[in-house]
A and B are shown apart, each in its own frame.
Chain A
Amino acid sequence: MAFRDDWMRARAVAWKDLTAERRSKAGFNSVAALGITILVLFGFALGPDTEAIRAAAPGALWLAALFAGVLAFNRSYQLELEGGALEPLLLYPGSRRSLFAGKLLANFVFVLLLMAIVIVASLVLFHVEVPGTWPALLGVALLGAIGLVTLGTFYAAMASRSRAREVLLPLLLFPMLVPVLLAAMEATKALLAGDVMREAGAWASLLVAYDAIFLSATFLAFDAVIEA
């Protein structure tokens, strides 16, 4: 029943992270507001010509999600670090992977909510119409979010515990996320234009491959980085 135990523990960690986040005043709200602000800034940078900003929407959307989302990843370890709760967490019997799974889950929920807000805001700000392909768009959003959250949660386990954490996390994370960002942006672009369906499919398979590779790699390596 080890798997059930692990799942119970992962759920408990996810619940704890999300509850603490919900109660910490305005944590999510600030991040969402930041996401929208970034979108606005992109609008200034690329607009006001309607065609230009409509074309730029997929890129702006994903970058806003990324820049705002990065804040979430360090925060997820902040809980443990502030209260000195990492040691007790490491002392609970059971696999450390369930800790990672729990944090992954919590960050995933956080980022999905963030993306929902950012997507809606970009539809409005960038004059984008909801295409018929919107279910596929949701799929791309999910796959992209998994990619962001997997490496984000992993690298934050290190960055949040070192000096210069604010610069170290983006510095490590952003170059590693290039494939996810490219794939997500291009697939989004294609789908918003009604798609030559084959294109988005190819990018989606890249996303699936990337997610599979790094989900496995991070689960295998987490033990080594979370140790005291």
Chain B
Amino acid sequence: MTTAAVPNILEPPRPGRWAWFGVFTFAFLVAAQAISIAISPPDRDMGDLQKILYIHVPAAWNMGICYLLVAVYSFRYLWKRDERHDLIAASAAEVGTVLNGLTLALGMIWGRPTWGVWWTWDARLTSTLIMFLVFAGYLALRAFVEEPERRARWSAAAGIFGAINYPVVYMSVRWWRTLHQVQSSPGTLDPNYTLSLRLNAFAILFLCIYFIRRRYEAALTERVAEQTLQAAALGGSARG
């Protein structure tokens, strides 16, 4: 007898062209950074510190993209129950959280010489911290749930909710700041730097995609190995 067209038995990933994409990504990043540093003179206020923003700002933008991916793939998982969508969502969440941490760290490093303090309760910085905590929670949830199907369903819900909440969190923190009439921090940038920022934004985007793909491949390989091990241990084949 056969278990016929079996959905959801995972196949190992096929790296294929992704290796080339990786090479391209790193090359592009190096080029973008080099160009930015070369063509932009030291900022009159911030000096060379301004260069940090070439990673900090793109990191922030791409973090948002990653979280959007989490929401999209979480939704697709709940729709079709295809485990691969869950793995993509999880990978996007991991990469997003790393970018989130990077944004925070660089923001603080940039802020210390600029404002004299390690932290201000600035709307952007604060909501970035909140989102970091939200997705740290997402990762904790995944870590504490063992059954793959349940883990997928639960983190899908948590991922979607977390992403939906991003604009709400940002707005509420911003209102809170303006209400108390605190000086808003000088975070604006001279338009001269726009090209460099865009270049780097794309560089980080490619990097993101590459890392998500790599993380996804690792997760998929892990799941396939798990399945094979289980099947072997119990003497039944994974295909019944």
A and B touch in the complex (CB under 8 A): yes
Q: Which residue of B lies closest to A163 (CB)?
A: B144
Instruction: Give residues 124-167 of B contacting A (CB, 8 Å).
Output: 130-131, 133-134, 136-138, 140-141, 144-145, 150, 153-154, 156-158, 160-162, 164-165
* Cα–Cα, bound, A186→B175 (Å): 10
**Does A90 sit at the interface, judged by CB under 8 A?**
no
* Contact, CB under 8 Å: A224 / B157: yes
Q: Which of A16-24, A45-53, A209-217 participates in binding chain B?
A: A209-217
* Contact, CB under 8 Å: B175 / A178: no
* Contact, CB under 8 Å: B156 / A214: no
Q: A182-B176, A217-B161, A221-B157 are in contact. Are A168 and B168 (CB under 8 A)?
A: no
* Contact, CB under 8 Å: A176 / B134: yes
* Contact, CB under 8 Å: B137 / A172: yes
* Contact, CB under 8 Å: A213 / B164: yes
Instruction: Give residues 167-185 of A contacting B (CB, 8 Å).
Output: 168, 171-172, 174-176, 178-179, 182-183
Looking at chain B's contact residues, the main secondary structure is: helix
* Contact, CB under 8 Å: A225 / B154: yes
* Contact, CB under 8 Å: A186 / B141: no
* Cα–Cα, bound, A210→B179 (Å): 19
Q: List 28 A-B contacts (CB under 8 A).
A: A168-B137, A168-B140, A171-B133, A171-B140, A172-B158, A174-B133, A175-B131, A175-B133, A176-B134, A178-B130, A179-B165, A179-B172, A182-B172, A182-B175, A183-B172, A186-B175, A203-B175, A206-B171, A206-B172, A206-B175, A209-B168, A217-B160, A221-B78, A221-B161, A224-B78, A224-B153, A224-B156, A225-B154
Mark A74-104 against chain B: 1 for CB-CB distance below 8 A, else 0: 0000000000000000000000000000000
Report A86 CB to chain B, min CB distance, Å: 13
* Cα–Cα, bound, A221→B168 (Å): 19
Q: Which residue of A lies closest to B78 (CB)?
A: A224
Q: Which residue of A lies closest to B162 (CB)?
A: A176
**Does A164 sit at the interface, judged by CB under 8 A?**
yes
* Contact, CB under 8 Å: A225 / B164: no
* Contact, CB under 8 Å: A179 / B164: no
**Does B218 sit at the interface, judged by CB under 8 A?**
no
**Does A227 sit at the interface, judged by CB under 8 A?**
yes
* Contact, CB under 8 Å: A178 / B173: yes
Residues of B within 8 A of A227 (CB): 150, 153
Residues of B within 8 A of A5 (CB): none
* Cα–Cα, bound, A217→B160 (Å): 9
Count B-side interface residues using an 8 Å CB cutoff: 31
User: In the complex, which of the residues A158, A168, A227 has the most CB atoms of chain B within 10 Å of its own CB atom?
Assistant: A158
Residue from A158, A171, A175, A199 within 8 A of B154 (CB atoms): A158
Residues of B within 8 A of A199 (CB): 179
* Cα–Cα, bound, A225→B171 (Å): 29
* Contact, CB under 8 Å: A158 / B165: no
**Does B169 sit at the interface, judged by CB under 8 A?**
yes
Residue from A151, A154, A172, A183 within 8 A of B141 (CB atoms): A172
* Contact, CB under 8 Å: B141 / A158: yes
Q: Which residue of B lies closest to A170 (CB)?
A: B137
**Does A37 sit at the interface, judged by CB under 8 A?**
no
* Cα–Cα, bound, A174→B149 (Å): 26
Q: A158-B141, A206-B172 are in contact. Are A176 and B157 (CB under 8 A)?
A: no
* Cα–Cα, bound, A217→B176 (Å): 25
* Contact, CB under 8 Å: B165 / A164: no
Report B125 CB to chain A, min CB distance, Å: 14
Residues of A within 8 A of B173 (CB): 178, 182
Q: Which residue of B lies closest to A155 (CB)?
A: B158
Having A162-B144, A176-B134, A209-B168, one finds 20 other A-B pairs with CB under 8 Å, namely A158-B154, A163-B144, A164-B144, A168-B144, A171-B133, A171-B136, A171-B137, A172-B137, A172-B140, A178-B130, A178-B173, A179-B165, A179-B172, A186-B176, A206-B175, A213-B168, A217-B164, A221-B78, A224-B157, A225-B157
